[in-house]
Structure 1
């Protein structure tokens, strides 16, 4: 435990987990060209935020993520842990919005990273190892779509649209399960796609490796950020074009790099921002870091 004159004790292992999560968040925000996304070199498709907004936001996420990791380190059931971290997440959201003056930089990231930090804490506490994390995530979020979306359709239909979340609106209009469905299934886009590609491109420089993994995720991500601001047709276009660029070699070839630079220009012009894919990239990098950390113990 890390203590001091304040009398506050913070678990060092929770600090380690959360610091890896914030490192991954900063990695995601730093790679370029990341089509339509904020990076160190571009505002992307956004006029209300830039790279420094993301850095400001990331600094306040360390607090809630430490608490999420701590919550995981207990004998509580995965569902009990999830209930605790939802409250921690709400507190963290408030801190984020205060820091960014109302700009939503990391709401989706905090939800995903909070779950993953708690799952990592639980895996370490139980001694089950990294291979248990996907099941822990599934156990934590079992029934989430039913509880928060499917069983509430009548209630949501009678709620003023301004009081609905983006995810709730999309479920009502298109039955899209969004981020809730992704975690309930155990983050398959991360475990089956993101991690495989990130691990398989270790010979690339860090920036290019991140962009390559982002493209791979964009092929499959049911990105609600795009659906909220655009349409299913735009989402299908994003998925198709990401696959085409990877077929050209992505960041491994001159043709692939040129194609992604053109995609970035197009997305910035059309205000297309695959923020959901960016969140999944951050989680991919975090879980890669976490696996290495757990294997070194």
Structure 2
């Protein structure tokens, strides 16, 4: 007996999928804008200054975010279709090409294309996601393929992973983003409870908490083991001293920012995870 032919989706169903993917892409773009707008953020670009970066500013990031937003919709549609990792990689490479065209060759969002892109694919597959569901789907559907590569051998993050023996962004993604769920989301929600009228406070709390915890290959690449240890120590001290519960939290965070700039340190991995935390917080049901 022959198999029954697959029934193609009707026009209404297809329209709904496209609309849902577009909404996911808008949420991803909003998370990138919120990450950019956060200040003070140690060593990172914001509308206030360019942090430790001489080749980019807030305008560069805005142009990049606009250029890559359509690809987040493509990734959401791919996730809805249960596309394998090679298909997601092809979309990601197209997004990176669009990013570089918009920025004159500057790498603003490669890490976000990877991590936030995986979460968009998961969101496309899970229109109504319970707490933890997006990370779990990434781990179960894509984890093995993420670790299998291919690896961009000459990328700064890959060189830092090989040289210093850390897992970096691929290991974090393959595990379902444990730093996002165990560190990022609790810090974001704590910051909101402490300062319900100041979204910057919650985002700064999240960023510093992630810096203190994360194996950030951007810090290793720019500062080596000494700069990496310094950055984590400064962030951990801020959090253990009370984080944004301190009355002078903004001054302390700004001092850390200036110390990072003086040492040319930029925790790009933490910035990517901050945006991803904001995306997941808006998409998943709270526990």
Under a length normalisation based on structure 1, what TM-score does the superposition of the two structures give? 0.85
The corresponding residue for 2:237 is 244
The corresponding residue for 2:156 is 166
The corresponding residue for 2:206 is 213
The 1:257/1:184 distance shift into structure 2, 3 A limit, reads same
What is the alpha-carbon distance in structure 2 between the residues aligned to residue 132 and residue 257 of structure 1?
34
What is the CA-CA distance between 1:10 and the residue it aligns to?
Answer: 6.9
What is the alpha-carbon distance in structure 2 between the residues aligned to residue 146 and residue 102 of structure 1?
27
What is the CA-CA distance between 1:233 and the residue it aligns to?
Answer: 2.2
Q: What is the SS of the residue equivalent to 2:126? A: helix
What is the CA-CA distance between 1:130 and the residue it aligns to?
Answer: 4.7
CA contact (8 A) 1:120 1:130 kept: no
Residues 2-51 of structure 1 show CA distances to partners (whole Å, capped at 9, x for unaligned) of x9xxxx99700001111111100000000111111000111101111111
What is the alpha-carbon distance in structure 1 between the residues aligned to residue 63 and residue 259 of structure 2?
27
What is the CA-CA distance between 1:64 and the residue it aligns to?
Answer: 0.6
The corresponding residue for 2:139 is 138
What is the alpha-carbon distance in structure 1 between the residues aligned to residue 61 and residue 106 of structure 2?
10
Aligned residues: 272
The corresponding residue for 1:65 is 72
Write the mapping of 1:245-260 to structure 2, written as runs, cut at 5 A: 245-260=238-253
The corresponding residue for 1:51 is 58
What is the alpha-carbon distance in structure 1 between the residues aligned to residue 16 and residue 183 of structure 2?
38
What is the alpha-carbon distance in structure 2 between the residues aligned to residue 240 and residue 144 of structure 1?
33
CA contact (8 A) 1:69 1:117 kept: yes
The 1:96/1:128 distance shift into structure 2, 3 A limit, reads closer
Q: What is the SS of the residue equivalent to 1:254? A: coil
Stretches of structure 1 that go unaligned for 5 or more consecutive residues are 157-162
The 1:145/1:68 distance shift into structure 2, 3 A limit, reads closer
What is the alpha-carbon distance in structure 2 between the residues aligned to residue 193 and residue 263 of structure 1?
20
The corresponding residue for 2:283 is 290
What is the alpha-carbon distance in structure 2 between the residues aligned to residue 73 and residue 192 of structure 1?
26
What is the alpha-carbon distance in structure 2 between the residues aligned to residue 249 and residue 109 of structure 1?
29
Q: What is the SS of the residue equivalent to 1:88? A: helix
What is the alpha-carbon distance in structure 2 between the residues aligned to residue 177 and residue 288 of structure 1?
25
User: Is 1:197 matched with 2:187?
Assistant: yes
Write the mapping of 1:73-88 to structure 2, written as runs, cut at 5 A: 73-74=80-81, 76=82, 80-88=83-91
What is the CA-CA distance between 1:230 and the residue it aligns to?
Answer: 1.6
The corresponding residue for 2:40 is 33
What is the CA-CA distance between 1:245 and the residue it aligns to?
Answer: 1.0
What is the alpha-carbon distance in structure 2 between the residues aligned to residue 232 and residue 282 of structure 1?
25
**RMSD of aligned alpha carbons:** 2.4
Residues 256-288 of structure 1 show CA distances to partners (whole Å, capped at 9, x for unaligned) of 332211111111122111111000000000000
What is the alpha-carbon distance in structure 1 between the residues aligned to residue 133 and residue 267 of structure 2?
29
What is the alpha-carbon distance in structure 2 between the residues aligned to residue 31 and residue 170 of structure 1?
27
What is the alpha-carbon distance in structure 2 between the residues aligned to residue 20 and residue 225 of structure 1?
25
